[in-house]
Structure 1
């Protein structure tokens, strides 16, 4: 399989190299966690050596810090602050932000590898970390140096947690119709409106808010940062969700919420562009989280087939289940390839990146959900019990077909690209 690293080296920046050196010094020989390692479904296939090192770091963290806790976090709806800050110490808080202000300086492909690995331990927590990374990138990429120096170091360390605020009760897929307003009043913006389904709402410290500062439509939208504790900022009750329970979702309300005009990210009227560009990467991130859930589910189904017996023999001897496992592995590898292809396109600023990110999100989230569902079916009645993590992977990755742009919108974006005359 071809190497995805550009020029043979995917990581060359000083911070990333320091991470690799630390890993090499601290790593001790251990038994392999994944029995599928070196198989046709191995997520290391196609990666350069340094990417494999970063991947191993993330897999080890997932095995030691995330997987042992994912069930408790899900059942008790715990927001695992300290564990996420440990992840940030490895450079996972601002993966593709510039090192100038504290980011890790890695590529979108590297980020995809990291999020897939982390999601094998807890898909829900990884999804929040990926959203946080998207917010950090928006500030780093579009903010002025003052905003970047103020926020990126705190976001990179996860001393500050962030939330992305685009969707509204009346504006979901039609995001350009958002009605939250920001009226300039001297040296402040006065924000009024509500945002819905906000991951981290009430727990996050910084809210990246898309609001209307001008005319109707996308040209009138701006991006403004709102800190927790700002007068006029409030939160509704925590939503009761099917999955993604390790981080809360709430409606975020703005009632004459005054923030300094210096909190504007980019320029007035640039907000919708910022939101959409952020979502290109966000779609790769959430698809990568689906890959991790599917990989873990596939591994667990394989192991279960070896120990579960019916009709006097283990399940691994039933040809139908052998074929099902082969189909699941094929779905996984195809999904991984399309996601990594989109990540490379985004890194290289390919003119087709929007459509390729949409394709990747569409295909990978749907196929990976099917893999998790098939894995649960292999477990039979046991798969339906919360004692077994396979059902949690299925629940946590289901929402990936809905958020960061529904998969119906992904179909629209891909078809629009195909039908455009060039």
Structure 2
């Protein structure tokens, strides 16, 4: 067993940590306050090679392994939690298009995703289909050289700023989960409308709903085979859930590092706060929990790189990563006192942002169901 990162990975980590500290962290709260998606930073991440980690080299990416992609999620999360969507979304979408898209789709979209010129979202969730993705009601009917899409997608990241979306719709409703297909749908197509939400957090992500009213999508924009979309995305979730865990851990660890410096300096009754066990042991507890999640995440990414099953690991990281991170950030906010409750410090925004990923990409209960199937057996269904 070897838990060391390669020299190249360590250099990559240092580059991203310096970038996160110097260029991202000072402006993290700005985009939330102004309600702006900082597209120029998506471009900057493209320059650093972050957007194209899971995109093959021939399409402008680096074809990096999953462990290296996890390093990017963790380190970018230290500087700007919302920009880690450029890691997580692009890794998921890059894999889907690279593995299942036509040569034309790969050639047109993958280089633009890798460079940061285009932002692409993934649209699965609907008002009546969240955890149960098989409950999708949106339809795609073949009419000549086009598929005509109708329906509504909800809770979609980058809904208001995306240049295109991978939209999942039923091409054969009689087949249930097996009748779902995936399409690359440019945002400017007639009949596609978006509406943003007034969310608690993740403001720069532009979350919202997509409304499809007779949207004509060329047959060439079908990703993979018809009726195979569900299986394509389910495997991708094992990757995105591991990356989500690391982006949450990165943000929480940054909060702990800042709080350690605070409690070493701030005095109470003539002594630094750090000398009180009630303070130091609390930080120790959260640090330990986050370390456990971090290494489970990297183990899951290593398993994926080896083409070994990693669904249990992925679901455990997605279940506990956001939970432990929220708890750690909350404690850091309290230890920093009343100023941390203001918008003068980043802790309150981190808390709001990370809470969102206790929901996205599978709730705690949904991930526990995956783990139960893995350790008890698929024949024992849980309800």
- After TM superposition, the score normalised by the length of structure 2 is 0.96
- 8 Å contact from structure 2 (residues 102, 220) kept in 1: no
**SS of the counterpart of 2:128?**
coil
Task: Show the counterpart of 1:227.
Answer: 186
**SS of the counterpart of 2:184?**
strand
Give me the whole-angstrom Cα distance separating, in 1, the residues matched to 2:90 and 2:54.
11
Aligned equivalent of 1:307, options 265, 281, 293: 265
Moved more, 360-369 or 287-296: 360-369
Moved over 4 A (4+): none
Matched, 1:239 2:214: no
Task: Show the counterpart of 1:13.
Answer: none
Give me the whole-angstrom Cα distance separating, in 1, the residues matched to 2:280 and 2:116.
43
- 8 Å contact from structure 2 (residues 140, 147) kept in 1: yes
Distance 1:105 1:152, change over 3 A: same
- 8 Å contact from structure 2 (residues 72, 87) kept in 1: no
Aligned counterparts, 1:156-171, within 5 A: 156-171=114-129
Deviation string, structure 1 residues 22-60 (Cα, Å, up to 9, x no partner): xxxxxxxxxxxxxxxxxxxxxxxx322211111111112
Deviation string, structure 1 residues 187-225 (Cα, Å, up to 9, x no partner): 000000010011111211110001000124210000001
Following TM superposition, by how much is the alpha carbon of 1:128 offset from its aligned partner in structure 2, in angstroms?
A: 4.5
Deviation string, structure 1 residues 209-262 (Cα, Å, up to 9, x no partner): 0100012421000000100110111112x2111111112111101100001000
Give me the whole-angstrom Cα distance separating, in 1, the residues matched to 2:99 and 2:55.
8
Matched, 1:70 2:37: no
Matched, 1:388 2:334: no
Matched, 1:248 2:206: yes
**SS of the counterpart of 1:349?**
coil
**SS of the counterpart of 2:150?**
strand
- 8 Å contact from structure 2 (residues 293, 320) kept in 1: yes
Aligned counterparts, 1:72-221, within 5 A: 72-214=30-172, 215-221=174-180
Give me the whole-angstrom Cα distance separating, in 2, the residues matched to 1:219 and 1:287.
29
- 8 Å contact from structure 2 (residues 165, 187) kept in 1: yes
Give me the whole-angstrom Cα distance separating, in 1, the residues matched to 2:2 and 2:79.
26
Task: Show the counterpart of 1:60.
Answer: 18
Following TM superposition, by how much is the alpha carbon of 1:3 offset from its aligned partner in structure 2, in angstroms?
A: 3.7
Aligned counterparts, 1:401-420, within 5 A: 401-420=358-377
Task: Show the counterpart of 2:315.
Answer: 358
Moved more, 307-316 or 180-189: 307-316
**Where does structure 1 lack aligned partners over 5 or more consecutive residues?**
5-45
Give me the whole-angstrom Cα distance separating, in 1, the residues matched to 2:68 and 2:298.
9
Aligned equivalent of 1:370, options 327, 338, 341: 327
**SS of the counterpart of 2:107?**
helix
Give me the whole-angstrom Cα distance separating, in 2, the residues matched to 1:357 and 1:315.
37
**SS of the counterpart of 1:197?**
strand
- 8 Å contact from structure 1 (residues 196, 250) kept in 2: yes
Task: Show the counterpart of 1:266.
Answer: 224
Give me the whole-angstrom Cα distance separating, in 2, the residues matched to 1:193 and 1:311.
62
- 8 Å contact from structure 2 (residues 316, 371) kept in 1: yes
Deviation string, structure 1 residues 275-313 (Cα, Å, up to 9, x no partner): 111211110111111011111111011011012121122
Give me the whole-angstrom Cα distance separating, in 2, the residues matched to 1:338 and 1:135.
23
Q: RMSD value over aligned CA atoms?
A: 1.4
Aligned counterparts, 1:283-298, within 5 A: 283-298=241-256
- 8 Å contact from structure 1 (residues 128, 199) kept in 2: no
Matched, 1:277 2:235: yes
Task: Show the counterpart of 1:12.
Answer: none
Deviation string, structure 1 residues 82-119 (Cα, Å, up to 9, x no partner): 11101111111121121122221111111111110001
How many equivalent residue pairs? 378
- After TM superposition, the score normalised by the length of structure 1 is 0.87
